[in-house]
Chain A
Amino acid sequence: MENEYLNGYHRMNTSDYGYWLPKGASTFAPEIDTTLYLVHILMVIMFVVWGIFFIMFLVQFRSGNEKKVVHSGYPKVIVPISMIAFVVIFDMYMLFGHDIPFWNHLKKDFPDAEKSTVVRIVAQQFAWNVHYPGQDGKFGRSRPELVDEKINPIGLDFDDPYAKDDITTVGQLRIPVEKPVIIHLTSKDVIHSFSLPVMRVKQDVIPGMSIPIWFEPTRTGNWQIACAQLCGNSHYNMKGIFKVQNQEDFAAWMAIQEAELPQDDEEVW
């Protein structure tokens, strides 16, 4: 089922998508959408106002209209100057009213890890490995030498007691709704970019670095993880399942995953 979805073109959710922005589904999506809308309104105003002047001048001052060429510039210098001033004021409003405070919020106001779903994602060519800490809430150690693409894609070290209850999936990120999520992103090989369009989340995944991001989903749904950075031949196909579920559904799924974990006396490889 999972592979069929990843390789085939099986549609899950299309009602959120259209010709414009996808419908947002995170707490800060409306703020990002506001900045997008405001900038685009400014762009349209500028284009229309300048366009009117431009076309007016072209018609009024075409050659052969017997008007004498005026040497000096436009008599009302206030017009171009106020146009430029308008942009400056708008820019400052965007910067200090929206963008700088919002970026602070995004980078500094991390939710309390105790009260959030904490996940680790290890990207590779061409899949998203999702790593849940399990019951103990602590990620087990992982080491690159232990990587085995078939059974241990993130190189989890099972000698580490914290690793015993860890759950890993390939290309399947499930999280509960209305609870903050903290994701630690890292990569095994090249730079990828973790993108969840409906959440307005995009973060480059850089090997050698572990980058935390957070968001809080506001509604349930089935979406996709997309890779936004060229990462090789199958970049176009580096998709993942992204499900936001009710608390109960998520807990039920987690219980199944935990039940499938190898017991202590079992040999894992």
Chain B
Amino acid sequence: MTNAEYSRQSFWRQYIFSVDHKVIGLQYGLTALSFLLLGFMLMVLMRWQLAFPGEVIPWLTFVVIFILLGLAIVFLAGKKRPYLALNSLIFFGIAALIWYFTTGEERLPGGIMLPEFYNQLGTMHGTIMVFLGVVPLAVGAFGNYILPLQIGAPDMAFPRMNMVSYWVYFIGGVLMIISFFLPGGAAQSGWTSYSPLADINTGQTMWLVAMLFVIISSLLGAINFIVTTVQLRVEGMTWFRLPFFVWTQLITAFLLLLAFPSLQIGAIMQLLDRVAGSSFFIPAGIIQGGKVLEYSGGGNPLLWQHLFWFLAHPEVYVLILPAIGIITEVVTNNTRKPLWGYPAMVYSLFFIGFMSFLVYAHHMFITGMGTAVTTWFQTTTLIISIPSIIFLAVIVFTLWGGSIRFTTPMLFALAWVPMFGIGGLTGLPLGLAPPDIHLHDTYYVIGHFHYIVAPGSIIAFFAGIYYWFPKICGKKLNDNLGKVHFWGTIIGMNLTFAPMLVQGMAGVSRRLYDGGLGYDHAQPVLFLNEWMTWGAWIIGIFQIFFILNIVLTLRKKSRSEENPWDATTLEWATTSPPIAHGNFITEPFVYHGPYEYNVSVNGQNVPYLPQHKKMDIED
């Protein structure tokens, strides 16, 4: 099929059930960003309750803000850009959902939150952010769009499977949202869904069904990524000429493929416990409502935790490795020099991928683990911190000797270094068993993993969006709006997450509906709940600049250059945006490593040497 034939396909084949990796990548990206916004909104509702327990939530303000945002997009998109105006539906949808929340007696009667609804929000915030937001954005969106371009492939290895992967994920996401409308509401046992609580709580069945869809989607995607990277690299693209981003996606795909089946099994077993009267996770003599539970006995609640964390720890690396990949691309491009210690990075990546399966039980130190198992898991946990330090060392020391351009994507990438540093360092006391006794299940844990995932992963995704936007849309995002967005986001995130570490040191438990109001030890640090709530508002308000930036940029008529960042990797060897079918007009051939900036050719300094340009580099 030629490109012209491809473009003559029906609207549905081209934009909805497309098999083109670029369209699927955009579908993934838009869906995942919408889920991030939804997950953020759930969190803002929770944070209001934590800062002002038992007070009326200003839900009408939220509804009005979202309706105004939706109207602004419709207005700015104008009649000529119906595809852009369509995105306002996301904002109207979230407004409608918040409105719906206030209608039920079991959720927000009179605008005051009930504990069961708080637990639903907490569970769904975690689930949506991790499984429907960050992973699909990291792998589904960035991986799908960028990886085939960077290896010079015409598409993914299995385009139809790619399409199925997206739609299965989409169904999973829709089921997750539908669960809010079911009697009893959404799941409320935490995103970790510990049995037996999850076996007896309402809402969990739909959560499990939705998770099964999400898991299948991830497995299909993972196989596709591995085969594509192994089979579809263009000629000359040897393993050590791969951009580092491709390496991170490859290892991530292996993690998904090997870790997710464990949760798949766990979810099926928990589902059977709930609907088929089995008791995989229910021990004998459980008392429910004053009576011994009819179906119980023989099960072990800790089995669920092993199955869950065997997935969920590698999952953390699924969240962070693609982010590291994006950061290396942006940092090398903006320091104008090759990545220092590229082989060390690749070997560290292999090592971290392998080790991530051997550390999972450090989430379970206080379940009553004995000495041998604890010794093993805290030792492996400390070992896995070494490759993470190598990543940071390589990125920091790559800056040395460069010529650093402070572009918007570079600002995000640079801010990522200390933020991810805080996230990684705060993992140390949690990975050692004795300090973990005090810190386990406190806000310290929340602060730690939010520093990893929010300023860690999401900041890297912002860097990636600003960096690859000219590739995807042919237009560069506005720098000034980008910088406002950057500073607001960084300040807001630190204001939100740093106080969590303080509260955790004081011993405040996580998942408390009143934010610790009832506990003596929480009293001195209670005022921080208000700070965190305002921090969350700052993050939210500054995302408006990001949304407006995208809409205003898409309105612009002028296109940016084909390669505005003077980058070397293969995705810039084609047009921006790339042609619909086959990506490249002529298949490129690769002659160089991925980051040949400021090399000398024939005694002259070449500012950047694309991978597909044949030139002899002198040492």
A17 lies within 8 A of B521 (CB)? yes
Q: Given B338, B399, B506, which contacts A57 in the complex, CB threshold below 8 Å?
A: B399
Q: Which of B97-105, B212-220, B226-234, B367-375 contacts A (4 or more CB under 8 A)?
A: B367-375
Nearest CB on A from B399, distance (A): 4
Interfacial chain A residues near B442, Cβ < 8 Å: 228
Question: Known: A71-B599, A207-B283, A228-B440. Is A46-B518 also a contact (CB below 8 A)?
Answer: no
Q: How far is the CA of A17 from the CA of B426 in the complex (A)?
A: 22
A84 lies within 8 A of B437 (CB)? no
Interfacial chain A residues near B284, Cβ < 8 Å: 144, 208
A58 lies within 8 A of B414 (CB)? yes
Question: Known: A57-B399, A71-B401. Is A189-B435 also a contact (CB below 8 A)?
Answer: no
Interfacial chain A residues near B171, Cβ < 8 Å: none
A19 lies within 8 A of B440 (CB)? no
A233 lies within 8 A of B115 (CB)? yes
B426 lies within 8 A of A43 (CB)? yes
Q: Which of B134-142, B264-272, B403-411 contacts A (4 or more CB under 8 A)?
A: B403-411
Q: Which A residue sits closest to B298, measured CB to CB?
A: A208
Complex interface bits, A143-161 against B, C-beta within 8 A gives 1, otherwise 0:
0110111000000000000
Interface centre among B336, B389, B514 (most CB of A within 10 A): B389
Interfacial chain A residues near B287, Cβ < 8 Å: 124, 144, 147, 188-189
Q: How far is the CA of A36 from the CA of B518 in the complex (A)?
A: 26
Interfacial chain A residues near B520, Cβ < 8 Å: 11-14, 17, 223-224
A197 lies within 8 A of B441 (CB)? no
Q: Given B197, B200, B300, B414, which contacts A230 in the complex, CB threshold below 8 Å?
A: B197
Q: Which parts of A22-40 form the interface with B (CB within 8 Å)?
A: 22, 31-32, 35-36, 39-40
Q: Given B368, B418, B441, which contacts A51 in the complex, CB threshold below 8 Å?
A: B418
A50 lies within 8 A of B283 (CB)? no
B441 lies within 8 A of A202 (CB)? yes
Q: Which parts of A46-76 form the interface with B (CB within 8 Å)?
A: 46-47, 50-51, 53-54, 57-58, 60-63, 65, 67, 69-74
Question: Known: A20-B505, A53-B396, A228-B509. Is A61-B335 also a contact (CB below 8 A)?
Answer: yes
Q: How far is the CA of A235 from the CA of B438 in the complex (A)?
A: 19
Q: Which of A90-98, A171-179, A243-251, A259-267 contacts B (4 or more CB under 8 A)?
A: A90-98
Q: How far is the CA of A198 from the CA of B366 in the complex (A)?
A: 17
Interfacial chain A residues near B299, Cβ < 8 Å: 208
Question: Known: A22-B521, A200-B437. Is A57-B400 also a contact (CB below 8 A)?
Answer: yes
B285 lies within 8 A of A61 (CB)? no
Q: How far is the CA of A129 from the CA of B599 in the complex (A)?
A: 73
Interfacial chain A residues near B599, Cβ < 8 Å: 71
Nearest CB on B from A160, distance (A): 17
Q: How far is the CA of A73 from the CA of B286 in the complex (A)?
A: 62
Nearest CB on B from A177, distance (A): 19
Interfacial chain B residues near A20, Cβ < 8 Å: 502, 505-506
Interface centre among A11, A80, A87 (most CB of B within 10 A): A80
Within 8 Å of chain B (Cβ to Cβ): is A227?
yes
Interfacial chain A residues near B337, Cβ < 8 Å: 69-71
Within 8 Å of chain A (Cβ to Cβ): is B29?
no
Within 8 Å of chain A (Cβ to Cβ): is B161?
no
B428 lies within 8 A of A19 (CB)? no
Q: Which B residue sits closest to A73, measured CB to CB?
A: B340
Interface centre among B507, B511, B513 (most CB of A within 10 A): B507
Complex interface bits, B291-322 against A, C-beta within 8 A gives 1, otherwise 0:
01000000111100000000000000000000
Within 8 Å of chain A (Cβ to Cβ): is B602?
no
Q: How far is the CA of A224 from the CA of B200 in the complex (A)?
A: 28
B285 lies within 8 A of A204 (CB)? no
Interfacial chain B residues near A91, Cβ < 8 Å: 382, 385
Question: Known: A84-B390, A202-B437. Is A14-B523 also a contact (CB below 8 A)?
Answer: yes
Interfacial chain B residues near A115, Cβ < 8 Å: none
Q: Which A residue sits closest to B289, measured CB to CB?
A: A149
Complex interface bits, A185-213 against B, C-beta within 8 A gives 1, otherwise 0:
00011110101011011111011110100
Interfacial chain B residues near A237, Cβ < 8 Å: 514, 518
Q: Which of B144-152, B188-196, B350-358, B529-537 contacts A (4 or more CB under 8 A)?
A: B188-196
Q: How far is the CA of A9 from the CA of B375 in the complex (A)?
A: 41
Within 8 Å of chain A (Cβ to Cβ): is B116?
yes
Nearest CB on A from B353, distance (A): 19
Within 8 Å of chain A (Cβ to Cβ): is B201?
yes
Q: How far is the CA of A31 from the CA of B435 in the complex (A)?
A: 9
Interfacial chain B residues near A235, Cβ < 8 Å: 115, 119, 511-513
Q: Given B425, B441, B519, which contacts A193 in the complex, CB threshold below 8 Å?
A: B441
Within 8 Å of chain B (Cβ to Cβ): is A3?
no
Q: Which A residue sits closest to B430, measured CB to CB?
A: A39
Question: Known: A9-B517, A71-B598. Is A229-B194 also a contact (CB below 8 A)?
Answer: yes
Within 8 Å of chain A (Cβ to Cβ): is B558?
no
Interfacial chain A residues near B399, Cβ < 8 Å: 54, 57-58, 61
Within 8 Å of chain B (Cβ to Cβ): is A269?
no
A47 lies within 8 A of B421 (CB)? yes
Q: Which B residue sits closest to A143, measured CB to CB?
A: B285
Within 8 Å of chain A (Cβ to Cβ): is B239?
no
Nearest CB on A from B507, distance (A): 4
Q: Which parts of B478-533 form the interface with A (CB within 8 Å)?
A: 502, 505-507, 509-514, 517-525
Interfacial chain A residues near B519, Cβ < 8 Å: 224, 226, 239
Within 8 Å of chain A (Cβ to Cβ): is B111?
no
Question: Known: A46-B425, A71-B599. Is A99-B437 also a contact (CB below 8 A)?
Answer: no
Q: How far is the CA of A104 from the CA of B338 in the complex (A)?
A: 48
Question: Known: A39-B432, A61-B400, A73-B397. Is A193-B115 also a contact (CB below 8 A)?
Answer: no
Q: Given A84, A106, A224, which contacts B386 in the complex, CB threshold below 8 Å?
A: A84
B418 lies within 8 A of A54 (CB)? yes
Q: Given A22, A200, A203, which contacts B368 in the complex, CB threshold below 8 Å?
A: A203
Question: Known: A73-B341, A190-B200. Is A234-B115 also a contact (CB below 8 A)?
Answer: yes
Q: Given B400, B434, B512, which contacts A99 in the complex, CB threshold below 8 Å?
A: B434
B196 lies within 8 A of A204 (CB)? no
B506 lies within 8 A of A239 (CB)? no
B509 lies within 8 A of A226 (CB)? yes
Interfacial chain B residues near A124, Cβ < 8 Å: 287
B190 lies within 8 A of A230 (CB)? yes
Q: Which B residue sits closest to A57, measured CB to CB?
A: B399
Q: How far is the CA of A83 from the CA of B378 in the complex (A)?
A: 21
Nearest CB on A from B346, distance (A): 16
Interfacial chain B residues near A11, Cβ < 8 Å: 520, 523
Question: Can you report 17 residue pairs joining A to B where beta carbons are below 8 Å apart?
Answer: A12-B520, A17-B523, A39-B429, A50-B396, A57-B396, A61-B401, A87-B386, A95-B432, A147-B290, A198-B521, A201-B437, A202-B438, A206-B301, A228-B441, A229-B441, A235-B119, A236-B518
Beyond the given pairs A73-B340, A84-B386, A211-B368, 20 more chain A to chain B contacts, judged by CB atoms under 8 angstroms and listed by A's residue number, are A18-B506, A19-B525, A32-B434, A40-B429, A46-B425, A47-B421, A50-B421, A54-B396, A58-B414, A70-B401, A71-B338, A91-B382, A94-B432, A103-B375, A147-B287, A149-B290, A203-B366, A208-B283, A226-B519, A229-B194
5 cross-chain pairs, A with B, having the tightest CB-CB distances, nearest first: A208-B283, A70-B401, A197-B507, A144-B285, A73-B340
